[in-house]
Structure 1
Amino acid sequence: MLFWIIVSCVTALLAVALLAPLLRRSATAGGEHAHDVEVYRDQMAEVHRDAAAGLISAEEAENARAEIGRRLLSSADKASKETGVAAKASRHPLAQAFIILVLPAIGIGLYLHAGSPGVPDAPLAARLANPGNDVALLLAKAENHLIQNPDDGAGWDLVAPIYLRNRRPADAANAYRQAIRIRGESAERLSGLGESIVSSNQGLINSEATDAFRKALSLDKNDARSEFYLAFALEQEGRGMEALAAFQSLAKTSPPDAPWQPIVAQHIATLQKGPAETKPNPDAPGNPTAADVAAAQDMNAGDRQQMIGNMVAGLDEKLKSNPNNFEGWMRLVRSYAMLKQADKASDALARALKAFPAEGEQGKQLVALATQLGIKAPEAKP
């Protein structure tokens, strides 16, 4: 009943709004000549006052009254005619009937045909309580809950992967961080955080994401997502043979029907082609041998990491005895940075710049690499 009362009130207000211009027209029509009539009457009164005060002669007053009177009669006649025409024009019985009767009948008929007057309304709170398959409503419900309960770790766990699937990586990263803060680290949360960071960086795997993936693998050595991104990080760094070994190991340990197998196979095929920018110089010290690559395929993540650390240390020793190797210094600085050994990376950079001064072309590349990796270059001595 309340619904129909509201409909009636809205219909009445709409009808008044539509009729107002028609009714107002009769009151305002003919305004121009009606105004002239008022002006001439004022002028006539002014002539009478001037004649009584002796400001003008009787003859001048008579002539002025005659002229004003003529104009007054003419304007009054025109105003009367326009008012009559406007009054006729303002009578629109068909338009008024259409507005008052036909429009409401059409609107109500359409609603009864296409609407659902018998269905109760569904306020936002009720829709949030039962979102069904509506992801937007589900997120809105969860976000509203988390605003009121920011320490609900289960809620953050719920929304984090949903954010990631809906291409909101920054929100996903924040949700994973909150879940880790409240519920602690797990392989799922850490690898999800790493993937969110990578997505936020347009696919670039930075040190924060790498740390998250490594921690995830330390908790679950079979975390395929972390293995994939760590292998991809090696590929991004130009360490093609190491990346190839990591991808091949992931393909070997994963089920044949795993959903990530096709993309892993693509990376393996690309790396096996050996593009120029990722193919290491065989003469550069510290490159893994074919035997190293084969051995890495059968290692777990921890053993592979240990092998990488040994290779970096070996590269460092060889560069001490043979510093005239630009590619080796670039690899060493990058390797120490990725291993989170900032002091060793800075020291390696300083030694590299002794062999390749900063003002030279190769020295500039070393400084640019250090800037990219967040390593402070040594100050030039005067």
Structure 2
Amino acid sequence: MIFWVLVSLLTAAVAMALLMPLLRGRPASGIEMRGDIAVYRDQLAEIERDRAAGLIAAEDAERARAEIGRRLIAATDAQAHRTDPDRRPRATKAAQAVIVLLLPVLCLGIYLSEGSPDLPDQPLAARLASPDGDVEVLIARVEAALAVNPADGAGWEVLAPVYARRGRFPDAAEAYRKAIQYLGETPERLTSLAETLIAAAGGQVVPEARQALERSAALSPDDPRTRFYLALGLEQNGQAAAARDAFTKLAASAPVDAPWLPLVRQHLARLGPAGASPSTAATAPGPGEQEIAAAAAMNEEDRQRMIEDMVGGLAARLKARPDDAEGWQRLVRSYMVLGRPEEARSALKEGLARFPADGEAGQALIALAKSLGLSQEGP
């Protein structure tokens, strides 16, 4: 509504600017011109009287008569061609009609044909994904709206992935929980919640993430992302045979050009064939269920310190045993979780130096880096 009011005001302003010159009359009126003519005629008569009385010379009288006659002719000609406001030419009136009536219609027609009057407002999710200004300002506005209306599930669903992209994983997980609470469970919401919880735990499939994945799998059994994280959880819990079977089925159903297929094959290579013992990397030490449960009960500062200690231990172990391809992936992912992209980039380069990009392990590292928005060259 405001848009159309502004358009109307602008059109009216343009029309008035064009009409003003046409509405102005000539500065001299007919009465003024008739008065000038009478004065000139009186002056001619007075000159004749003065010449007859001998008050002026005949030569001077002739010159004065010629000048006054010239002025009289000019005044008479101006009166014949004067234009009063109520006697303007038809062309002027036609121009006024065009400006007043046709100009708004013409502008409206051009806008309807060349503009986009039915274009909808850009959704909030799109503006947050590709903001023109400061994304923190947009986040603050959404947070303020959710503080007033906390039951707005759509608002929580919009905010959750934005939190995740900015590394605010606890906030993202809570936003996904709110979206599920108010909008219901869907495979996408449940798997996104699980993925956020896994990222917050440094790549570990924690119990709450596993439960969300199991509910997602019940709704959509063929979702490859859900299946991958469930298989990863089995592997991390030491269930090598079950993990091998899950990864094998996932690889068999994957398109040949699936970007995540090299990562699945790498897990299968680490687990080895059926009946074989998993490789050293597959049984590498990591946080157990008790440690994970303890971390969940910690405050944010203590949890962050615990994750940093785990990451430091992983980095030291990879220095001693750099042949752990999965370990390099975990280290890159962990540094990104901690908000340390430079160290993640350094770990990526070290991993690719050990596992070149033309092999499956190297391809898996590159695929992980792309999913995290990390490049080898830097931002």
Q: What's the TM-score bracket when you normalise by the shorter of the two chains?
A: 0.3 to 0.5
Give the structure-1-normalised TM-score: 0.37
TM-score (norm 2): 0.37
Which one scores higher on RCO, CA 8 angstroms, separation ≥ 6? 2
